[in-house]
Chains A and B, each alone.
Chain A
Amino acid sequence: MNLEYDYPSILTQFIIEQNHILTDEIVQLSLLYRAIEEYFSDVNELMNFYEQKKEFANNLKYEDLGFYRDLLNNNYDKFIVIIKQMKSAKSIEEIQINLNNMSLFINHAFADTCIRVNLLEYLADVRACLEDIKTRQVALIKFKILGTKNEIK
């Protein structure tokens, strides 16, 4: 059984609306859905934080603060490319790879800056969601609801 992203959402909604008795499987599906939602929410928060800082930097008054504006503007395109990849990941492996790419990018592009720490904090939240998704995936595989990677293929 291969669950697409929307499927847990619809299933969970159905269960809630019909007030069905929750089986262990449904509980795990709900938790998976929540973890996936949280993942996308945290990716958005990371993106929003960057965009807020970029807007703030673009409105800075004195040219000596231009280094901050340039730092954020010059790295924005690459940042957004990785964000889009994170949003369109089709597997946990892809999520992991994109997360690692983002981590490398932040550490490289924002080396020796204070904002690097903020960005990595947001990324740590995303990583926590990934770990949660992995945990739910394992549980669902045990219930035979999610196939293993080979079975899905």
Chain B
Amino acid sequence: MKLNDSNVRNLAQNIFEHDYLLSDEVVEFANLRTCIDNYSREIDELVNFYAEVQEYAFDVMHGDLVVFYDLLNNNYAKFIDIIEIMRHVNSIEEMQNNLNSLIAFIENAFADTYLKANLVKYAENIQSHVECIKLHQTALINLKIYFTLNCQ
């Protein structure tokens, strides 16, 4: 059995709507679905946070504060590139690799800034969701169910 994200969503939705008895498989699917949702939502929150700070930096951009806006603006394109890749992963390995790229980027581009800690915090939250996905992947494999990821 090969499930993609859309199948999992439809299945979970069907279970909830019809109040079926939950088998182990369905519980695992539901948990997996939650993890995937959380992963995507956390990425959105990271993007929103970056945009919010960037907008604020633009509002106060004058004189000695231009440096803060430049920091955010100059790194925005690279940041969004990584985010877009993170949103279109096809495997947990890809997910992990992209997350590692994001963390390396943050550490490098925002070294010696307070903002780095905020961004890393979001990345850590994403990491915890990836761990959760890994856990449920293992459970589903044990149940002889295999799936592919499509976070789009």
Contacts and interface: CB of A to CB of B under 8 A. Distances in A.
Interface of A: 60-68, 71, 113-115, 118
A64 B64 contact: no
22 contacts: A60-B65, A61-B56, A62-B53, A62-B56, A62-B57, A62-B68, A62-B115, A63-B114, A64-B113, A64-B115, A65-B60, A65-B65, A66-B114, A68-B65, A71-B64, A113-B63, A113-B64, A114-B62, A114-B64, A114-B66, A115-B63, A115-B64
The interface residues of chain A, by DSSP majority, are classed as helix
Contacts of A64: 68, 71, 113-115
Nearest to B62: A114
A61 B114 CA distance: 12
B62 to A, nearest CB: 8
Interface residues of B, number: 14
B136 to A, nearest CB: 36
A68 B64 CA distance: 7
A9 B83 CA distance: 69
A68 B65 CA distance: 8
B78 to A, nearest CB: 18
Nearest to B118: A62
B114 A62 contact: yes
Contacts of A60: 60, 65
Residue of B53, B62, B63, B66 most packed against chain A (CB within 10 A): B63
Contacts of B57: 62
A66 to B, nearest CB: 8
A64 B118 CA distance: 11
Interface string B65-79: 110100100000000
Residue of B60, B62, B71, B115 most packed against chain A (CB within 10 A): B60
Interface in B44-65: 53, 56-57, 60, 62-65
Contacts of B71: 64
Q: Which 4 A-B residue pairings sit nearest by Cβ, starting from the closest?
A: A114-B63, A63-B114, A114-B64, A64-B114
A67 B65 CA distance: 9
Interface string B130-141: 000000000000
Interface string B108-131: 000001110000000000000000
A62 to B, nearest CB: 6
Contacts of A68: 64-65
A113 B56 CA distance: 21
A65 B53 CA distance: 11
Nearest to A114: B63
A22 to B, nearest CB: 45
A113 B68 CA distance: 14
